[in-house]
Amino acid sequence: MNKKSIISDKRFILLFLAVFVVALMVYLSDYNYTPFWITFKLAFLTTTILLVISIPVSYFISYSKSKMKFLLESFVSLPIVLPPTVLGYYFIVALGPRSSVGRFLEDNLGLSLIFSFEGILLGSIIYCLPFMVYPIVNGFRNLPRSMIESAQLLGKSKRNILWHVIIPNNRGAIASGVLLSFAHTIGEFGVVLMIGGNIPETRVASIAIYDEMNQMNYESADHLALVLLAFSFILIVAIHFIRNTKKKNFA
């Protein structure tokens, strides 16, 4: 891999400029942009928290010799096949006001996870977990084993090897996971609707489009959908651009 990071690539910066322009379009338009603000806040926080969680989870899945790791892999993969309504239902059952955990959180921290931004954030994190973890796991597994052995032979600790060898040589995989999680959160509908309901505090762009459609405000729905389409398309282009960037040369 070239010593230049992916972030320093000019084409990559152009893609992000395009995303910025779309965001600016939304900001300057006459339409109510609150759903976009909530969507981006949700996507940004989900991605950031997922990144912190996914690095150790991916490391464990990639390198652990534990025979039980298939259980963790299965848990991480579950949202890929699970209908959002099922996840939302169990979320409400486990963390809703009638559950002991929900009551505990409400009584002691004043935190309600149903019909709140915190709730849809937690739901998004669980639902997007495989979209962040698996690109990173694939990257970690593709790193030659002998490269990690080289670092071990130089007397380096596991943590040191993770920070200085594994992560820097997987910037592409990590960037891919970040963009995929961000894009997936932007397009989220079912989980947000189940956990957050349809109230202004949790109304993300995809739900706002659904709302405008139901109220036959086609012009407004049109505008919201176009921005979401443009934004999602740019993110997907960025993901494929990273994947097609020339293969790393593991010298």
Partner 1 sequence: MLKVDVHKKFISKRRNAEVSFTYDFPSEGIIGVYGASGIGKSTALRMIAGLTKPDKGAVLFNEQTWFDHKTYKNLAVAERKVGYVFQDYNLFPNMTVHENLIYAAPSGIITPEISELSEAMQLDELLENVPEELSGGQRQRIAIIRSLASQPNLLLLDEPFSALDDDAIENIITELKRIKLNKGMLTIMVSHRRDVLAALCDQILHYNGQGELVSYTPQQMKNKGFEIFN
Q: Is 210 exposed, middle or buried (0-12, 13-18, 19+ CB in 10 A)?
A: middle
69-81 and 117-142 are packed helices; what angle lies between their axes, rounded to 10 degrees?
120
Contact between 247 and partner 1 by CB under 8 A: the answer reads no
Under a CB-based contact definition with an 8 Å cutoff, are residues 208 and 224 in contact?
yes
Which of 93, 168, 199, 233 is in the footprint of partner 1 by CB under 8 A?
168
Under a CB-based contact definition with an 8 Å cutoff, are residues 163 and 148 in contact?
no
Rounded-to-integer distance, Cα 19 and Cα 27, Å: 12
Q: Which two tokens stand for residue 232?
A: 């999602």
Return the range that interacts with partner 1 (CB under 8 A); candidates 105-113, 128-136, 163-171, 229-237.
163-171
Contact between 251 and partner 1 by CB under 8 A: the answer reads yes
How many CA atoms does the CB half-sphere of 42 hold within 13 Å?
Answer: 35
Window 192-231: contact mask with partner 1 (x via CB under 8 A): ----------------------------------------
State which residue, 110 or 155, has the beta carbon closest to partner 1: 155
Question: Alpha carbon 187 to chain centroid distance?
Answer: 11
State which residue, 165 or 173, has the beta carbon closest to partner 1: 165
Contact between 49 and partner 1 by CB under 8 A: the answer reads no
Which of 29, 149, 218, 233 is in the footprint of partner 1 by CB under 8 A?
149
Which of 146, 159, 216, 244 is in the footprint of partner 1 by CB under 8 A?
146
Return the range that interacts with partner 1 (CB under 8 A); candidates 63-71, 155-163, 181-189, 221-229.
155-163
Under a CB-based contact definition with an 8 Å cutoff, are residues 140 and 59 in contact?
yes
Q: Under the rule (CB under 8 A), what is the footprint of partner 1?
A: 1-3, 144, 146-147, 149-157, 164-165, 168-169, 248-251
